[in-house]
């Protein structure tokens, strides 16, 4: 689907919609077209002219709201051995290298069927030396998930763990690399820890890993495409992300951007057949095809999503939109008495965790359901030691949609007599 068709869809009136989210989207078209390039420069939006009732807006960590044109790209059947589909695979693989700012002489892209965890598991079970093991740095549930993967594959693991609101302590990590983790082959960390919203300093950690001659893996599931990542400065050997995060495709595959020399070390080392990273890459390189049934529709939607990322202005522009989403939410919720879980210097612009208000009228289920009824989907908290809810800033949602969410939250709080509207 071209951006021209997208343009006409994004400017169509949506008066038949009955959800508040879409109503605010359509009313925003007149008033905010000059404020944000959502509807005025051909950028495809989430508005779907074929639907009477628009989908709810997903303020979650994924699956995410996608553009109408990305969804449209799903509506074709492709033969997996068709040369046109093989071109899609090639374009996705090379487009991701371009997006990462790395050269095909040094790096390659390996798409893996399944969700993000499949990509992480593929790297860990294929690349890590089974005798030497891995140092996992964790400050949240997704860091900890890596230890569940290594346990399942019997991979020796040294865990550095700190609280989910804290930045990992580099001196403590270095100490581990000199002692317990001296012999590991790999170091691994999550970039944007979606558990809390904290963003870890992958450059400092990667440089430390290299100082001790370790291969370095980054889980950039929720950041790749919206944070500029310098692969060389951070010395990244393997970066894992997935289709339905900041590139705004639909779920169905993850991808690994891997240094070729690091990948070659993984030959014959995998403890999984379907998640053998080296074999997956060798298959794709040999005949342009997946070894096992490919996610044809998802890949085509992803190629469209990559095109739309370019139209938006690339990683920097996308990051700016997400940051503006986050800022507007923060400015909107502060007067209502909602407090962020993270200190502001550690708060990223992918997702925000908010403490529950402490008044007796607060009830998360009611809050969630009332927002859902108004067309806005938020997410429960995931941090370990506080009652929180989370609001995502990624996907095809815009600052004006965030304003709509803030208005809905205000309305719901009034109705529930909670937060700023709780009886004193
Ligand atoms: C940082 C991070 N790592 C890993 C995952 C797991 O991805 P999936 O649920 O797609 O398997 C997620 C999911 O949101 C994530 O945010």
Closest-lying ligand 1 atom to the alpha carbon of residue 193: 1
pLDDT of residue 256: 99
Which residue has 């950039």 as its token pair? 220
Mean pLDDT of 205-218: 98
Residue 191, φ and ψ in degrees, nearest 5:
-75, -70
Q: What is the average pLDDT across 34-46?
A: 51
Q: Which two tokens stand for residue 202?
A: 């992958």
Which band of pLDDT confidence, cut at 50, 70 and 90, is reported for residue 38? low
Task: Dump pLDDT digits (tens) for 108-157.
Answer: 999 999 999 999 999 999 999 999 999 999 999 999 999 999 999 999 99
Report yes or no: 100 and 110 within 8 Å, Cβ to Cβ.
no
Confidence (pLDDT) at 399:
92
Q: In which band, very low, low, confident or very high, does the pLDDT at 82 lie, cut at 50, 70 and 90?
A: very high
Q: Is the CB of 222 under 6 A from ligand 1?
A: yes
pLDDT band per the 50, 70, 90 thresholds, residue 9: very low
Q: Give the residue from 290, 278, 287, 340 showing the smallest Cα distance to 128.
A: 278
- Going by alpha carbons, the residue nearest to atom 7 of ligand 1 is 116
Question: Cβ contacts of residue 118 below 8 Å, gap of 6+?
Answer: 112, 254, 275
Residue 47: pLDDT band (50, 70, 90) is confident
* Nearest in space to 201 (alpha carbons), one of 225, 224, 167: 167
Coil vs helix vs strand at 352: strand
pLDDT at 28: 37
- Sheet with 351-355, strands from edge to edge, namely 351-355, 388-392, 379-380
Residue 3's pLDDT band (boundaries 50, 70, 90)? very low
- Taking the centre of ligand 1 as the mean of its atom positions, its distance from the CA of residue 31, in whole angstroms, is 36
The pLDDT of residue 4:
32
User: What mean pLDDT comes out for the span 364-386?
Assistant: 95
What is the chain's mean pLDDT, rounded? 90
The Å distance, Cα 221 to ligand 1 centre, comes to: 6
Angle at 23 between CA 251 and CA 323, to 5 degrees: 55
Q: Is residue 60 in contact with ligand 1, taking CB distance under 6 Å?
A: no
Residue to mutate, 242, 246, 380, ligand 1, most ligand atoms under 8 Å from C-beta:
242
* Residue 378 token pair: 């938020």
67 vs 218, residue with greater confidence: 218
Residues 188-201 have a mean pLDDT of 98
17 pLDDT higher than 90:
no
Residue closest by Cα to atom 2 of ligand 1: 221
| CA 217–ligand 1 middle distance (angstroms) | 15
pLDDT for residue 24 is more than 60: no
Distance 4 CA to ligand 1 centre (A): 33
Burial of 131 (0-12, 13-18, 19+ CB in 10 A): exposed
Pick the range with the lowest mean pLDDT from 37-41, 89-93, 101-105, 349-353: 37-41
Alpha helices in 128-216 (DSSP H): 141-152, 170-178, 202-211
**Per the structure block, which two tokens stand in for 189?**
């960390």
| 362: nearest Cα among 404, 421, 402, 403 | 421
Cβ 140 under 6 angstroms from ligand 1: no
Task: Tell me the CA–centroid distance for residue 142 and ligand 1, in Å.
Answer: 7
Q: What is the DSSP string of 289-329?
A: S-SS---HHHHHHHHHHHHHHHHHTHHHHHHHHHHHHHHHH
Q: Rounded to the nearest whole angstrom, what is the distance from the C-alpha of residue 301 to the centroid of ligand 1?
A: 20
Distance CA 378, CA 395 (A): 13
In the beta sheet, which residues pair with residue 187?
135, 216
Rounded to an integer, the average pLDDT of 213-235 is 98
Q: What is the pLDDT of residues 304-337, one digit of tens each?
A: 999 999 988 999 999 999 999 999 999 999 999 9
What is the pLDDT at residue 34? 35
Spatial separation of the C-alpha atoms in residues 276 and 261, rounded to whole Å: 16
Q: 341 in helix, strand or coil?
A: coil
pLDDT at 54: 83
Q: Who's near 182: CB < 8 A, 6+ residues apart?
A: 212
Predicted confidence at residue 39, as pLDDT, reads 47
- For 43-161, strand residue ranges (E) read 57-58, 107-113, 134-138, 157-161
| pLDDT digit string, tens, across residues 357-369 | 999 999 999 999 9
């Amino acid at each position: 689907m071209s951006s021209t068709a997208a343009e006409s869809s994004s400017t169509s009136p949506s008066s038949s919609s009955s959800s508040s989210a879409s109503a605010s989207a359509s009313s925003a078209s007149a008033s905010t077209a000059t404020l944000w390039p959502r509807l005025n420069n051909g950028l495809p939006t989430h508005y779907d002219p074929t639907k009477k009732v628009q989908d709810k807006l997903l303020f979650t960590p994924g699956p995410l709201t996608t553009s109408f044109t990305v969804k449209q790209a799903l509506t074709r059947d492709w033969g997996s051995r068709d040369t046109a589909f093989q071109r899609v695979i090639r374009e996705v693989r090379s487009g991701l290298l371009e997006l990462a700012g790395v050269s095909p002489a040094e790096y390659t892209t390996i798409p893996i069927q399944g969700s993000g965890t499949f990509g992480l598991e593929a790297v860990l079970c294929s690349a890590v030396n089974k005798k030497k093991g891995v140092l996992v740095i964790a400050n949240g549930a997704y860091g900890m998930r890596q230890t569940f993967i290594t346990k399942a594959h019997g991979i020796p693991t040294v865990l550095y763990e700190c609280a989910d609101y804290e930045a990992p302590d580099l001196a403590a990590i270095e100490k581990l690399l000199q002692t317990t983790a001296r012999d590991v082959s790999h170091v691994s960390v999550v970039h944007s820890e979606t558990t809390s919203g904290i963003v870890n300093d992958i450059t400092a950690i990667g440089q430390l890993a290299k100082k001790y001659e370790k291969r370095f893996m980054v889980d950039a599931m929720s950041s790749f495409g919206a944070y500029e990542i310098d692969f060389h400065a951070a010395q990244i050997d393997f970066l894992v992300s997935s289709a339905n995060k900041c590139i705004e495709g639909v779920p169905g595959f993850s991808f690994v951007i891997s240094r070729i020399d690091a990948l070659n070390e993984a030959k014959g080392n995998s403890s999984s057949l379907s998640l053998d990273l080296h074999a997956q890459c060798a298959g794709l390189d040999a005949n342009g095809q997946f070894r096992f049934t490919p996610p044809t529709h998802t890949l085509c939607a992803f190629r469209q999503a990559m095109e739309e990322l370019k139209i938006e202005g690339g990683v920097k522009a996308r990051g700016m939109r997400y940051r503006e989403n986050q800022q507007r939410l923060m400015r909107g919720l502060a007067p209502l008495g909602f407090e962020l879980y993270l200190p502001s210097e550690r708060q990223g612009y992918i997702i925000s965790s908010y403490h529950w208000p402490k008044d007796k009228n607060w009830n998360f289920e009611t809050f969630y359901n009332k927002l859902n009824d108004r067309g806005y989907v938020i997410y429960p908290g995931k941090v370990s030691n506080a009652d929180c809810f989370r609001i995502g800033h990624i996907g095809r949602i815009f600052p004006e949609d965030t304003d709509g969410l803030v208005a809905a939250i205000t309305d719901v709080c009034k109705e529930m007599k909670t937060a700023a509207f709780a009886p004193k």
